[in-house]
Structure 1
């Protein structure tokens, strides 16, 4: 979208927002002002109406009081009924006529007697009320319960008209002993009150009890007919004011909000229209000036910028100007030149290893992707190098020393592979060999001639046979090399590097200081390894590890005296995975403790089921597990759960596992024995310096390796002499001996004659699941 269009859209958006904001503000201000005027006007009208109604009531009250206290009235009620002669009544009528004459709004003035008789003067002939009305009778009935000394009002509907009746009691007797003699009543038609209250904008009505008295000429008469309480007014668009009059009569005035708000809306519309016109004119003027003075030069400048390249050389392609735009163009050209120089430096840094100065992993990927995207390019080889022993150097001498060592390695490799290497990220031709550092102790070589890989790999490995002089100190390390060739092995960057990596790890597993060319078998091995890793994790989560038990017997009595618990794991098809495969992976992943706990728990279950307190279960562990006191505590907890004693558990370690860190292992073995566990040295006789192990370490049991009985000359004089010597040493050191690998009767008889007390092997029993082992044990006892 062009800048001019954007400015127009933005200006229009701002104008619309301004108009909307102004409209809302003006609307709120006008609504607030009208609301205040409405409240004030309604209050004034209510005050006037209240005064009018109250004045009418006060006038009626004063007149009733005057009538009730008039001597003629008092005398009239004081004499018995038989003395109420026509002359007396005539004088009384004239007195009442005076009030009618001076108050045209009065419908009637009446004197009510308790017997229902009345003297009444009417202002209108259509008002025919006679006798004691129901409300007056109610007041008389209440006199016995409470004094009737107040002025009372009552609104009722009589002869199709609403009337307001005022009552005042007349008493005879002494002040201490008042006797109700009758009542005086003045009646006013409500329409006369509404005539005084009526206004074009306001409505007034009365609520008494559940009755609404409204102006019959009101425009809202139908609405007011349905109103029985003020709560109903909430549902209608009216503003109301209320006030309580005498005798529970409530005055209500109201006005329509809509009429007032309609006036405010008209004012808002007019104000907003003026603002819209003014804003549109200002925005149009601003846009025209902006387009001519700024947008047009910037558009010209932007067309030039599209052709600029921050990497290429920057020519003077902009026209000269003397204004601010010209200054901007000049500054831009200077910036482009600086950016060009900085880009080249940053690019070089992005593809260079800061420690060694070699091209880094990003440069390697750049080179490989460039050539692999061109199928017609010649073949080449990728060699992965990983230093053997660098971690020990780094840990022992420190990281700074390790960095210097890596620089020495780089110098030696560069001299062998690419003495004059000048890697240019803009020139990715493979006319020479390249050396890369991927990170840590990993290097990669890209050979332009794959036929030279064996020669180059041999030269690299031989160069590591000599030490590296770092700070006048000779340091030795090795290397393992993996090789993959393009396009023979792969034509994708990631796959080619992966195959070289697999070949390198294969070289490490074969003994290090060697090279390995990639082949399909390596991929199968790695795939199998990845599956075993997945299966180990799955087995931990789902409890798929199980134990099998191989019996140990007394060579004289053939009685089962113990067993060795062996961890087992099957693949998803039920085929057994070799223990050497999954145990090493479990140790690498840090879950070997969980495997050991599973085997221990199943062994405890078997010991508990057999119920033989002297039977010993042997479990294989690695020395690293003994470094964690929590491991031993967890084992003790498992024994406690199954009520198994520690001496019934024998922990086996092989000779090759205890060669390193012998001092720490010796301390750990003593700690294990203090916990009450037995210890055993497994595969005795095949490791390095087996006798030396007996001197440094204290074990409860020696397990003779199978070579002592599986070889053809196991029954020779030499073999017997060696076994007798081992037996004597074990006896002196108070250690038991168990022979492994017994596969036939002759071997078992040989061991018995040689004085070896216990043995295990397939001839005695293969490893069995728990229930078959129990059955085998029971059969042996029977």
Structure 2
């Protein structure tokens, strides 16, 4: 480890995957300094990198209240090139070639028996009691509960609001336990429950009850926010006879659980967890190494058949395996927070590319994740991308999903209002697949509704829903785009039901950026084809 950390580093070192990054944390968990390599590995680029890392570490529970810092063997033994050592006056100097995932950052914790925020036993008490039970040969069930989207509460309502939610969550947790059960607060957004003598029946019943409790609204100083939880389960002695290994396995199960659900540990998760760590490390390097690219899928108006614009779709071209399907890396990027730097790159790249397209008025639609919508800097990022590219604001369309609108309503409204003031278009993506769709349409200022592909099928109910949504769009002055159109019959049907635009493989598959200008000229050269209207 070097004795000092320079905030500057030659630019050629950023491209060297073997070059480590360095962070210096003080006793409160604030980043005192970092070098450019650390910022590159984190995908932060310029700006207040120190503040961004400090927020990341706070969300992972890496905040000391005076105790000694320690980096557990789980990190130094599990990720090559990661080292840490304490410094004088408290704090930690960290060197890494790949930042440990957020759930491994949980091992940066202060010593202490009781969590001062919730009053629950801390990790130390939990592990001591678990070790006693395992040594005695007793059976037990261990549950690990992780609050989802809690970091968005801190980002939008502040650190105090996040702490209030954690205290309320701890109260709900304690109220659901039996006499003799042990609840503990883990660093970050997690809780653990130890059930002595319990088997799968009792553990899964409690897991279901806790999921229901955590899905109830949280009132934070008059602001109502909706969260949910994911729960992992593991059993002793079946899944482990050592405290650390059992905790590690229940954590694997928790990470495998979808939001609002629970999963029990399975042996296959060991290989999945290892593969996930490798994928995350590679994903962190993808932005600074330029491995992402955008493909563009055409959108057509149903009135004249003319091309109206494109949707930008993210692709990851891995140097070894080629194109990685979005379904494999987007959820991981969401969970780790990498979606924020990736999403910022997408916005800038889509604006830059579309500004050079031939023709007038073609729009580019960019999907933004729930975390980006909750991030209060989204409007600033969009504004900067428009200025840098010269793209008129009216040609940029920001697509949000219903999921992004469920939590932190006030902050989401503020973000959408700021985007509206910039002059960009706003659309509701995958309409009908989330919750409270009618509420969202009346509350937020959308220019377009994008109807999910599942309603384009020839099922009688799908036809009725398609007709109803198109009618609502007309009544509310919103354009309606049907996604996933693959046959001429589907195209005729959606036009007959009143949709205004269409997108799908029938009209054009996504193409790389370099092929877009030729595709535009091809559309401009052919006469628009208006399909005859049929009644279904």
TM-score by length of 1: 0.44
CA apart distance, 1:768: 1.2
Residue 456 of structure 1 is matched in structure 2 by 202
1:437 to 184, 192, 197: 184
Q: Who wins on radius of gyration, i.e. which is larger?
A: 1
Task: Decide whether the 8 Å contact of 1:568 with 1:576 is kept in 2.
Answer: yes
For residues 606 and 674 of structure 1, what CA distance do their matches in structure 2 show?
23
Residue 678 of structure 1 is matched in structure 2 by 425
Residue 752 of structure 1 is matched in structure 2 by 495
With CA pairs under 8 Å and 6+ residues apart, which has the higher RCO, 1 or 2? 2
Counterpart of 1:707 in 2: which secondary structure?
Answer: helix
After superposition, the Cα gap between the structure-2 partners of 1:397 and 1:626, relative to the gap in structure 1 and judged at 3 Å, is closer
For residues 706 and 437 of structure 1, what CA distance do their matches in structure 2 show?
44
Query: Is residue 468 of structure 2 the alignment partner of residue 693 of structure 1?
Result: no
After superposition, the Cα gap between the structure-2 partners of 1:579 and 1:757, relative to the gap in structure 1 and judged at 3 Å, is same
Structure with greater helix percent: 1
For residues 477 and 777 of structure 1, what CA distance do their matches in structure 2 show?
43
For residues 402 and 412 of structure 1, what CA distance do their matches in structure 2 show?
15
CA apart distance, 1:648: 0.8
Residue 85 of structure 2 is matched in structure 1 by none
Deviations 1:70-95 (A, max 9, x none): xxxxxxxxxxxxxxxxxxxxxxxxxx
CA apart distance, 1:371: 8.4
Residue 653 of structure 1 is matched in structure 2 by 400
2:249 to 487, 493, 499: 499
Counterpart of 2:511 in 1: which secondary structure?
Answer: coil
1:549 to 291, 296, 312: 296
Residue 384 of structure 1 is matched in structure 2 by 143
CA apart distance, 1:544: 1.5
Q: How does 1:523-534 map to 2 (within 5 A)?
A: 523-534=270-281
CA apart distance, 1:539: 1.1
Counterpart of 2:508 in 1: which secondary structure?
Answer: coil
For residues 760 and 586 of structure 1, what CA distance do their matches in structure 2 show?
26
Query: Is residue 524 of structure 2 the alignment partner of residue 781 of structure 1?
Result: yes
Structure 1: where are the runs of 5+ without partners?
A: 1-349, 418-434, 468-475
Query: Is residue 484 of structure 2 the alignment partner of residue 737 of structure 1?
Result: no
CA apart distance, 1:780: 2.8
For residues 482 and 664 of structure 1, what CA distance do their matches in structure 2 show?
31
CA apart distance, 1:647: 0.8
Counterpart of 1:610 in 2: which secondary structure?
Answer: coil
Task: Decide whether the 8 Å contact of 2:127 with 2:243 is kept in 1.
Answer: yes
CA apart distance, 1:595: 1.9
Task: Decide whether the 8 Å contact of 2:455 with 2:462 is kept in 1.
Answer: no
CA apart distance, 1:734: 2.9
CA apart distance, 1:537: 1.0
Deviations 1:323-359 (A, max 9, x none): xxxxxxxxxxxxxxxxxxxxxxxxxxx9964879987
Residue 233 of structure 2 is matched in structure 1 by 483
Query: Is residue 402 of structure 2 the alignment partner of residue 402 of structure 1?
Result: no
For residues 630 and 533 of structure 1, what CA distance do their matches in structure 2 show?
24
TM-score by length of 2: 0.61
Residue 321 of structure 2 is matched in structure 1 by 574
Q: Which sits farther off after the overlay, 764-773 or 552-561?
A: 552-561
For residues 642 and 389 of structure 1, what CA distance do their matches in structure 2 show?
35
CA apart distance, 1:654: 1.4
Structure 2: where are the runs of 5+ without partners?
A: 1-110, 154-158, 215-225, 526-536
After superposition, the Cα gap between the structure-2 partners of 1:541 and 1:491, relative to the gap in structure 1 and judged at 3 Å, is farther
Residue 504 of structure 2 is matched in structure 1 by 761
Task: Decide whether the 8 Å contact of 1:546 with 1:598 is kept in 2.
Answer: no
Counterpart of 1:415 in 2: which secondary structure?
Answer: coil
After superposition, the Cα gap between the structure-2 partners of 1:506 and 1:555, relative to the gap in structure 1 and judged at 3 Å, is same
Counterpart of 1:541 in 2: which secondary structure?
Answer: coil
CA apart distance, 1:766: 1.6
For residues 661 and 767 of structure 1, what CA distance do their matches in structure 2 show?
33
Deviations 1:238-270 (A, max 9, x none): xxxxxxxxxxxxxxxxxxxxxxxxxxxxxxxxx
CA apart distance, 1:615: 0.3
For residues 670 and 400 of structure 1, what CA distance do their matches in structure 2 show?
26
CA apart distance, 1:517: 2.7
CA apart distance, 1:651: 0.6
After superposition, the Cα gap between the structure-2 partners of 1:501 and 1:653, relative to the gap in structure 1 and judged at 3 Å, is same
Task: Decide whether the 8 Å contact of 1:416 with 1:460 is kept in 2.
Answer: no
For residues 143 and 487 of structure 2, what CA distance do their matches in structure 1 show?
50
Counterpart of 1:764 in 2: which secondary structure?
Answer: coil
For residues 149 and 469 of structure 2, what CA distance do their matches in structure 1 show?
40
CA apart distance, 1:547: 0.7
For residues 415 and 545 of structure 1, what CA distance do their matches in structure 2 show?
53
CA apart distance, 1:660: 2.8
Counterpart of 2:234 in 1: which secondary structure?
Answer: strand
After superposition, the Cα gap between the structure-2 partners of 1:678 and 1:747, relative to the gap in structure 1 and judged at 3 Å, is same
CA apart distance, 1:526: 3.0
